Amino acid sequence: MSDNLSRRRYLAGTGAALTIGTLAGCSGGGDGGDGSDGSDGSGGGNAAEDVPDEIDEYLSDARMYEGTIMDFTGQDEVTVEVGAGDVGFAFSPAAIRIDSSTTVVWEWTGNGGAHNVASVEGSESDFDSGDSVSEEGHTFEQSFDNTGIQLYQCTPHQANGMLGAIEVVEA
């Protein structure tokens, strides 16, 4: 049964990654094709397999986590979708790597009901978006100045695998 579950998780994650890559117009160049550096947070990240153990363990049951971390180093701002996936119980991307002083913007999709973003015990920083919100387009921003691992969840949907993580590295 666990092989079947792992196979489903792999296929769901692979399908989601292909869809996101297609929708984002991923050209592999990281510059969005317009000569800019992509620092507006609208893309430009590359999947990396060198996920820190703490993140990999925390996200082992997270929806849309594929065992990779999206590398957004070099960008000033990065956007993470809140309410991603087929039922809206995921953050996308689930794992990101950023430079210190980068701002992460969580943007609600309007899917999956009311969500929030809250750090968990063991996270390098404390942050909380407040009450759960279901409104599409709602945003919450947090800048991360200290290096380390940031772990977070949607409190109402943590049991459904709505977990996320950020590795903040020295700029």
Q: What is the pLDDT of residues 89-142, one digit of tens each?
A: 999 999 999 999 999 999 999 999 999 999 999 899 999 999 999 999 999 999
Range with the poorest average pLDDT among 17-26, 40-49, 67-76: 17-26
Closest CA to 128 of 139, 113, 140: 140
Structure confidence at residue 121 (pLDDT)? 94
Q: Spell out the alpha helix ranges (H) of the chain.
A: 2-23, 53-58
- Domains of the chain plus CATH, in order, are 46-169 (2.60.40.420)
Fill in the DSSP letter of residue 116. Answer: -
What's phi and psi for 21, nearest 5 deg?
Answer: -60, -40
115 backbone φψ class: left, alpha, beta (φ>0; ψ -120 to 50)? beta
**Residue 56 three-state SS:** helix
pTM of the predicted model, to two decimals? 0.75
